[in-house]
Amino acid sequence: MGDYKMDNKQICQALILGIKDYFEKNSVKNAVIGLSGGVDSAVCCCLIAKAIGSENVMAILMPEEGLTSDANVNDAKELADKLKIDYKILPINNAIDFFTDMNQRLSLMDSTHAIANAKARIRMTILYYFANLLRSLVIGTSDKSEIALGYTTKYGDNASDLLVIGDLWKTDVIKLGRFLSVPERILKKMPSADLILNVSAEEDLGAKYDLLDKILRMYIEEDVSIEEIIRKGYDKKIVENVVQRIVANEHKRRSPIIVRVSNRSFHNIEWRMPITNKFISKDF
C-alpha cells in the first residue's frame, strides 16, 4: 500500500477518524456526495457513511441520458440502498443543452473537451446547491492518481470541501474497496470520467493505472528521477508523459494565484490561519 505503512484496516480507520474530526470541528453533521457507479465515489460513500452515519449522507446521481450507462446508474442505486443512504437522481441533459444551444446560437466552435468540462462543473454546481439547502459539506471523490495527473476538471469534480481518498492511489482505492465489500463489478469496472462517449480514463492517459501508479509512486513519493525510472525498465514515452502531466497540471492543485501588491496578501505563506478551527477571537 504505497508508503502508508498501514494495511487496509488501518487506512480505513485513519480515514474515518479524519472525516469525523473534520465534520466535528466544522460543526457540520451532513454530507452530500456525487455517486457515479464508479469505484472512487463508491469507496468514498462507504467511508462517509461509516464516519458520520448513513442517515446524514445524501447521494446525488447525475447521469447524462444517452451517455451514462444503465449499469452505472443501477450500481450507484444498489450501493446507496446497501448503505441505507438517501439518494436523488437528477439527469443533467437540460443543463448540457444550454451550452450546445449557445454554441449554435453564437456560432462558437465545437469543443468536445469544453462540453466535457462543463458537465463536470454542472454536477458540482448541483452538489453545492444541495449542500447549501441541507447545510452539508461536499465530498470530493478524486484519488491521488487523478490529482497527480490532472485528470480532473478545475472547479468541477476537483471542487469539494473534503477529499476523502485524495491521498490514495487508484490501485489502492480498489484494494480498499474490496476491504469495504464494494461490489466486485464496480471494482473491476473500467475507470471513466463518464464525460465523453466511449473514452475510458486509461485510454485517455495512455496506460493502465497499475503501471501509472508505479511510476507516480516512484516519482512523487520516492523522489526517483525520470532517468532512474526509465533505467528500471519503464517505457520512456510513458514516463515522460506522466511527468509532463504532473508538471502541466500544477495549477489544478493550487488555490487561485494572487498577484501581490501589498505587504501581506492571502497567500498561503503570508496569512497562516487554520482552515478548520473552533477558537473565537476576542476581536470578534
Q: Which domains does the chain have, with CATH numbers?
A: 8-198 (3.40.50.620)
Residue 243 scores a pLDDT above 80:
yes
Q: pLDDT category, 4, cuts 50, 70, 90?
A: low
pLDDT at 3: 52
How do residues 111-139 score in pLDDT, each as one tens digit? 888 999 999 999 999 999 999 999 999 99
pLDDT at 260: 84
Q: pLDDT category, 1, cuts 50, 70, 90?
A: very low
Residue 159 and residue 141 in contact, taking contact as beta carbons nearer than 8 Å: no
pLDDT at 278: 67
Segment 166-187 shows an average pLDDT of 97
Residue 52 and residue 29 in contact, taking contact as beta carbons nearer than 8 Å: yes
Q: What is the DSSP letter of 253?
A: G
CA 94 – CA 237 distance, rounded (Å) = 41
pLDDT at 268: 67
- Predicted TM-score of the model (pTM): 0.91
- All three cell numbers of 220, joined, read 512523487
CA 121 – CA 119 distance, rounded (Å) = 5
For the chain, strand residue ranges (E) read 30-34, 57-61, 86-89, 136-140, 162-163
pLDDT at 284: 43
Sign of torsion, CA 163 168 169 170?
negative
Residue 168 and residue 148 in contact, taking contact as beta carbons nearer than 8 Å: no
- All three cell numbers of 193, joined, read 470520467
Residue 53 scores a pLDDT above 70:
yes
The answer for residues whose C-beta is within 8 angstroms of residue 230's C-beta and 6 or more apart is 236, 239
Length of the chain: 284
Q: pLDDT category, 262, cuts 50, 70, 90?
A: confident
- All three cell numbers of 7, joined, read 494495511
Residue 182 scores a pLDDT above 50:
yes
Residue 186 and residue 37 in contact, taking contact as beta carbons nearer than 8 Å: yes
Residue 191 and residue 149 in contact, taking contact as beta carbons nearer than 8 Å: no
CA 163 – CA 190 distance, rounded (Å) = 22
Q: pLDDT category, 261, cuts 50, 70, 90?
A: confident
